[in-house]
A and B are shown apart, each in its own frame.
Chain A
Amino acid sequence: MIEVSGLTKAYGDLVVVDDFDVTIEQGDSVALWGPNGAGKTTVIRCLLGLVSYDGTITVNGMDAKDDGKAVRSLIGYVPQELSFYDDMVVIDLLDYSASLRGIAPERVDEVVEMIGLEDHQQKLVRELSGGLKQRLGLATALAPDPPILLLDEPTSNLDAGARESTIRLLDDLKHQGRTLVVTSHHLEEVGMLVDRVIAMEAGVVVTECAPHDLAERLGISAWLHLITSKDQAAQAQTVLTEAGFSARMNSQGVLVEVSAQQKGMAVTALAEAGIEIEDLEVWR
């Protein structure tokens, strides 16, 4: 269990995390969600004892300051981007990380296979794509089979395919009963990964809720791109405007601003007017 109480971190006069409290039970999956500069990564760094802070952090009853090594032995950490150790061979980096945790080499082989790095283990880190580097980060974090995983923006540098496979892997890990703490600024990703979201802004917790409630609570709207035939685009804009939406035409159809609960209503309004929707996309 992770208990954070009164966590405050300042760089000079700049307070980046202010009186942050959270309790995360074993097996919970929690996202720290917010824009860049919200303080999410700083909370992760405090949990790992990488920066000084005021307040208390305990993990399974151990103080993160006094028992830092023991606390870190329970945590697998995946950094936002593995942009270092570029000249190391992948398997050497994994072996090095494992040796610092006292893990047997056989376990490294297991993790390489589990993460799907078999064909890349003799490459230099710098030769890996963003997605493979993310997998390498995951491999180093998973090698000790830790009960807690801290993931800093785990999909931020990934293309659509790599993002999907990473989310699937993390979902598996969640169902294995691991505690997941994820930082993210992607609303959809948070919905797929975790059961609880702590929204932060300027170092302060704004709200804490289930992922599907977040958009409504924070009044976050999305743009729905409804693709229609060119002949019907103008009519679609009129229908949507009359239904109370803010809508405008573009080359493929209409763009309509919708709140979290209104996406279906916009589609229904067009269907009732007899306008055929060929495809749709949600933009945030």
Chain B
Amino acid sequence: MTMTADRVITERPEMTTILRVARKELRSSVTSRWFWMWVLAFVGLALILVLVALPSTRIGGQAGFGRTAASLVTLVQIIVPLMALTLGALSIAAQRETGALRFLMSHPISRTEAFWGLYLGNSAVLAVATTAGFGAAGVLTISRGVTDGTATFAWIAFASWLLAMAMLGIGMLISTFAKRSSAALGVAVFVWLILVFIGDLGVMGTAAATNMPVSVLFFTALANPVEAFRLLALTAFAGSLDALGPAGVYAVDTLGDNLDLSLLIVLLLWLALPVLAAWQRFRGKADL
């Protein structure tokens, strides 16, 4: 702790400083056109999916909010990772490129405060975006007289936010390494392609080519946070993973009642580890 002219400066991170940086990030994002394009795309597609899904709710299978949530899962696992990865990838790299990060760090704040401020601000941005998408879908569903399964719907909305946070951490990790925002964006899109499309196909292809045991297949798939989210959502509205075939049966047999918890832990690990690695990298010797 150091006493300067008229105030006490502590090198320890201060929550008020983190919140100031976070508020500025949130404010900048919600006034940007990109943010509203993402939100409108998410809300628009969510509403279309709900309108398509709702007429069949009384025919059979999953009904009520569960149906709405199920229809949103595919949308979430494509759009949310892309939104969060690109937001995270640009968070540090773009500010470093323009000089904004140097300007910020010329103030009496520590790198830890700056990093967690950026992370918290971007987390709030993603919370606003996912809440808007699920909120609009929820309102439309209720307006059609459907009220069953609201807990499942809320759980999947929460899991979507966890997925977004995990992707944000990966994006910020990319951002700490990238020298230019264009490079950060390119790597983020590549990671998105791997996690959302290529990874799945790769696991399937490898499993078919190598006669991969079901256990290895399941745990390899689980290592993908997008897959962990999908499985978590599937167990929430279907009650089991039977739809996945032998891997699903294996998962239920192996993890039993702990399946949900295990999937949640996977998501939480993906949420924590990349962002902690990004923080370590940022507070270390990285030049701004």
Contact = CB atoms under 8 A, between A and B. Distances in A.
Interface string B84-119: 000000000001001110111111111000000000
Nearest to B95: A84
Contacts of A70: 2, 4, 9, 11, 108
A48 to B, nearest CB: 5
A72 B106 contact: yes
Interface in B1-59: 2, 4-5, 7, 9-11, 17, 20-21, 24, 28, 31-32
B31 A85 contact: no
B288 interface: yes
B7 A83 contact: no
Contacts of A99: 20
Contact of A48 (B20, B31, B106): B106
A50 B101 CA distance: 9
Looking at A51, A77, A85, the one whose CB has the most chain B CB atoms below 10 A away is: A85
Interface stretch (A61-69, A169-177, A193-201, A273-281): A61-69
A147 B5 contact: yes
Contacts of B109: 69, 72, 100
B287 interface: yes
- Bin the interface of chain B by size: 20 to 34
A100 B107 contact: yes
A27 interface: no
Contacts of B105: 48-50, 72
- Bin the interface of chain A by size: 20 to 34
B19 to A, nearest CB: 10
A81 B103 CA distance: 10
A88 B28 contact: yes
Interface string A74-102: 11010101111101100000001101111
Nearest to A78: B106
A52 interface: yes
A126 B65 CA distance: 46
A73 interface: yes
A83 B98 contact: yes
Contacts of A52: 285, 287
Contacts of B285: 52
Contacts of B106: 48, 50, 72, 75, 77, 79
Given A62-B2, A74-B4, A102-B7, A79 B28 contact: no
Given A70-B2, A100-B20, A100-B21, 4 more contacts: A84-B98, A88-B28, A96-B20, A97-B107
Sorted nearest first, the 3 A-B pairs with minimum C-beta distance are A70-B2, A84-B100, A73-B108
